[in-house]
Amino acid sequence: MECDGHCQGIELKFDGQYVQKKLDKYRRKGPKKTTLALIEALTAQNISGSTLLDIGGGVGDIQHALLQSGATSAVDVEASTAYVEACKAEAERQGHGQRIHHIQGDFVGLAKDVPLADIVTLDRVVCCYPDMTNLVSLSANKAKRLYGLVYPRDKWWVKLAMAIYYNLRLWMQGNPFRNYVHSNRAVETLIGESGLQLRSARGMGAWNVLVFSRPG
């Protein structure tokens, strides 16, 4: 994988030490509240026999939960080396390591080689990517049935917190990685243009938790 500055920033931010803390927390407490809300919204749709494409899957919270709830297989596309290894380790620990195929790299650059899936998820991934248009359009077109995402609400206080608490600190560390608060209307418009329709929406603090479905 040929890395640009953004990809290098991902490796710096989500390094082994950071990811190990996230994995330890997942093993102690389970998924984050917003992730759990997305999982619950998806599993309410009868996912038995479904395939999953999880973009930016982290330690694999969604993959592990959906495989335990009836999904047959998952593809994990993740840019962070440490997260790929953590997800593999946790999948083996939970007994479904052979049911997850891992692809390391930038989804937008790899999209043409990534298969369609019944369910596509992006949990706090849209906020980590500068090219929202290609990320959302390409990922939405991979969803045969359901498309779920967690991403920031475009409120002034969310933008301020993102700029000061996250991006200023990254800048001071010399890390090119940045967080983004993209237009919610633009995100949902792109998803709609792919033929998906909003099925459920929930605001949780600074975050939107949305699930779309493809008619028919």
Q: Is residue 176 part of a domain?
A: no
Q: According to the model, what pLDDT value does residue 152 have?
A: 98
Q: Which residue has the tokens 């930038």?
A: 106
Share of the chain above pLDDT 90, in %: 89
Residue 210, pLDDT > 60, answer: yes
131 in helix, strand or coil?
A: coil
Whether 134 is covered by a domain: the verdict is yes
Q: What is the pLDDT of residues 98-120, one digit of tens each?
A: 999 999 999 999 999 999 999 99
Phi-psi region of 58 (alpha: psi -120 to 50; beta: other; left: phi over 0): left
How many distinct structural domains can be found in the chain? 1
Q: What's this model's pTM, rounded to 2 decimal places?
A: 0.95
CATH classification at residue 74: 3.40.50.150
Q: How confident is the model at residue 1 (pLDDT cuts 50, 70, 90)?
A: very low
Which pLDDT tens digit goes with each residue over 14-57?
899 999 999 999 999 999 999 999 999 999 999 999 999 999 99
Average pLDDT over residues 197-207: 97
Residue 94 belongs to what domain range?
5-152+183-213
Express each pLDDT in 177-190 by its tens digit: 999 999 999 999 99
Task: Identify whether 47 is part of a domain.
Answer: yes
Q: State mean pLDDT over 154-163.
A: 95
In a domain, 40, yes or no: yes
Whether 192 is in a domain gets the answer: yes
As a whole number, mean pLDDT of residues 146-173 equals 94
Query: DSSP code of 141?
Result: T
**Higher-scoring residue by pLDDT: 11, 21:** 21
Q: Is residue 157 part of a domain?
A: no
Please report, rounded to a whole number, the percentage of residues in the chain having pLDDT higher than 70. 98
Least confident range of 34-38, 77-81, 162-166: 162-166
The sheet carrying 207-213 orders its strands as 100-104, 73-78, 51-55, 117-123, 143-152, 207-213, 197-204
Q: Does residue 13 register a pLDDT over 90? A: no
* pLDDT the model gives residue 2: 41
d(CA 114, CA 97): 19
- Can you tell me the distance from the alpha carbon of 100 to that of 52, in angstroms, rounded to the nearest whole number? 9
Quick check: 171 pLDDT over 50?
yes
Q: Mean pLDDT across the stretch 206-212?
A: 98
Average model confidence (pLDDT) across the chain:
95
Residue 4: what pLDDT? Answer: 62
Residue 171 lies in a domain: no
